[in-house]
Structure 1
Amino acid sequence: MDRTVDARGLVCPQPVIKAKKAMKDMTEGILTILVDNEIAVQNVMKLGNYSGVNPSSTKLSDKEYQILFYMEKGAESVQKNTLEECAPDSRKKGLVAVLSSDQMGTGSEELGRILMKGFVYALTQLEELPETILLYNGGARLSTQGSSSLEDLKSLEAQGVEILTCGTCLNFYELTEKLSVGTVTNMYEIAEKMAGARLVIRP
């Protein structure tokens, strides 16, 4: 029996989780998954390929994509967990990006914020993504509610990039409850990550 899963408006890993759950309830038929961004398309397609259901995708409009899973008896079971399905192997081992401000450069604060937003977006487009992104001092604002870089950081996290924000900094700026991507870290781990990095990039 055919089935449709509407995952529009959801960020990874939610579309993958919803598709995976629907697959468990189906033995035959066509499973249609609707999403609204290309990252979700890539991750759901990857789930379909792992599962042996001959997935195909179609762009219906600027913000609507359709993915079809052709369910058949005996299809290969899913071997990867959800986080692995959302983490394409495109990270560069030992590459750490350090964001210590929500602005890039000095001079105009407004321009600095525009440049930082562009830099974080540029990270999402690299052929080799950072393994870890460290955010501290003013950079802690980037991973919190209301940040213009939040969706780009979520996209990076969905692809397996570790996002770590300084807990002391969140407390100082009274943003602890507004952290919206990644996890809280401490200065020891920040020092450890930087000391163990093969390459550290700073905007």
Structure 2
Amino acid sequence: MDKIVDARGLVCPQPVIKTREAMKDMTEGTLTILVDNEITVQNVMKLGNYSGFNPTSQKLSEAEYQVVFYMKKGAVTLQHNALEEECVPDSRKKGLVAVISSDQMGTGSEELGRILMKGFVYAMTQLEELPETILLYNGGARLSTMGSASLEDLKTLEAQGVEILTCGTCLNYYGLSEKLCVGTVTNMYEITEKMAGARLVIRP
């Protein structure tokens, strides 16, 4: 049996509590939780991970997100009552902008460069302080599109509140306009504005 929990407009810990209530009498199926901000996504994702349901998240619009728990019959649900009282703080570092202009890192072997770039994007997910914004342009635009090896890591970052912006002109140039899978399309003015206003810019 599938269920939907509408937790939009609720403040922590209410979305987590409503999700736990919906989980109680579910033995299999999908549980979809609708929320309206990235930090609530982070809190609900944490509950799903503790419970062993391998949750996924998706940004539906500017102020609407969904988290999906995949519940299989016979799966063990881990108890973690303290989660009802936990609200994960915003772990983004204000003014930290990551700028990625290629799908490869460094010069030399293209294959090695792509491996290094995948490692770089993954490493960002492990930082104690995440970037506030990631800007993707030129070859870096490929990272946020269908088939990218870094797609799941970028989705993880977005679910934790990181703004993912991909150059629209670059997507058009590479024929990827219909294949964007994470974040939103941006333009050169906004890219310049984000970089100019950053307190710290990091580049692979």
TM-score range, shorter chain: 0.5 to 0.7
SS in 2 for 1:179: coil
After TM superposition, give the deviation of residue 43 of structure 1 in Å.
3.0
Offset from partner CA, 1:112-152 (integer Å, 9 cap, x none): 00000000000000000000000000000000000000000
Kindly report which structure 2 residues correspond to 1:99-138, keeping only aligned pairs within 5 A, or say none.
99-138=100-139
For structure 1, the residue ranges without an aligned partner over 5 or more in a row are 8-13, 49-54, 77-84
For structure 2, the residue ranges without an aligned partner over 5 or more in a row are 9-14, 32-39, 55-69
TM-score, normalization by structure 2: 0.66
After TM superposition, give the deviation of residue 193 of structure 1 in Å.
0.1
SS in 2 for 1:178: coil
Q: Is the 8 A contact 2:166 2:184 kept in 1?
A: yes
TM-score, normalization by structure 1: 0.66
After TM superposition, give the deviation of residue 44 of structure 1 in Å.
2.0
Looking at structure 1, the residues matched to 184 and 94 of structure 2 have their Cα atoms a distance apart, in angstroms, of 20
Quick one: structure 1 residues 56 and 99, their matched pair in 2 at CA, closer, same or farther if it must change by over 3 Å? closer
Query: One-letter code of the match for 2:24?
Result: I
Offset from partner CA, 1:80-108 (integer Å, 9 cap, x none): xxxxx8x8510000000000000000000
Kindly report which structure 2 residues correspond to 1:41-190, keeping only aligned pairs within 5 A, or say none.
43-44=43-44, 57-59=50-52, 66=77, 88-190=89-191
Q: Number of paired residues?
A: 166
Q: Is the 8 A contact 2:7 2:18 kept in 1?
A: no
Looking at structure 2, the residues matched to 104 and 194 of structure 1 have their Cα atoms a distance apart, in angstroms, of 20
Instruction: Output the aligned Cα RMSD.
Output: 4.3
Looking at structure 2, the residues matched to 149 and 193 of structure 1 have their Cα atoms a distance apart, in angstroms, of 22
Query: One-letter code of the match for 2:108?
Result: G
Q: Is the 8 A contact 1:56 1:69 kept in 2?
A: no
Query: One-letter code of the match for 2:156?
Result: S
After TM superposition, give the deviation of residue 57 of structure 1 in Å.
3.8
Looking at structure 2, the residues matched to 201 and 42 of structure 1 have their Cα atoms a distance apart, in angstroms, of 24
SS in 2 for 1:147: coil
Query: One-letter code of the match for 2:141?
Result: A
SS in 2 for 1:181: coil
Any runs of at least 4 consecutive aligned residues in structure 1 with deviations exceeding 6 A, and if so which?
14-17
Looking at structure 1, the residues matched to 122 and 107 of structure 2 have their Cα atoms a distance apart, in angstroms, of 20
What's 1:79 paired with? none
Looking at structure 1, the residues matched to 122 and 6 of structure 2 have their Cα atoms a distance apart, in angstroms, of 22
What's 2:24 paired with? 30
Quick one: structure 1 residues 151 and 15, their matched pair in 2 at CA, closer, same or farther if it must change by over 3 Å? farther
Query: One-letter code of the match for 1:30?
Result: K
Query: One-letter code of the match for 1:66?
Result: T
Q: Percent identity?
A: 69
What's 2:12 paired with? none
SS in 1 for 2:131: coil
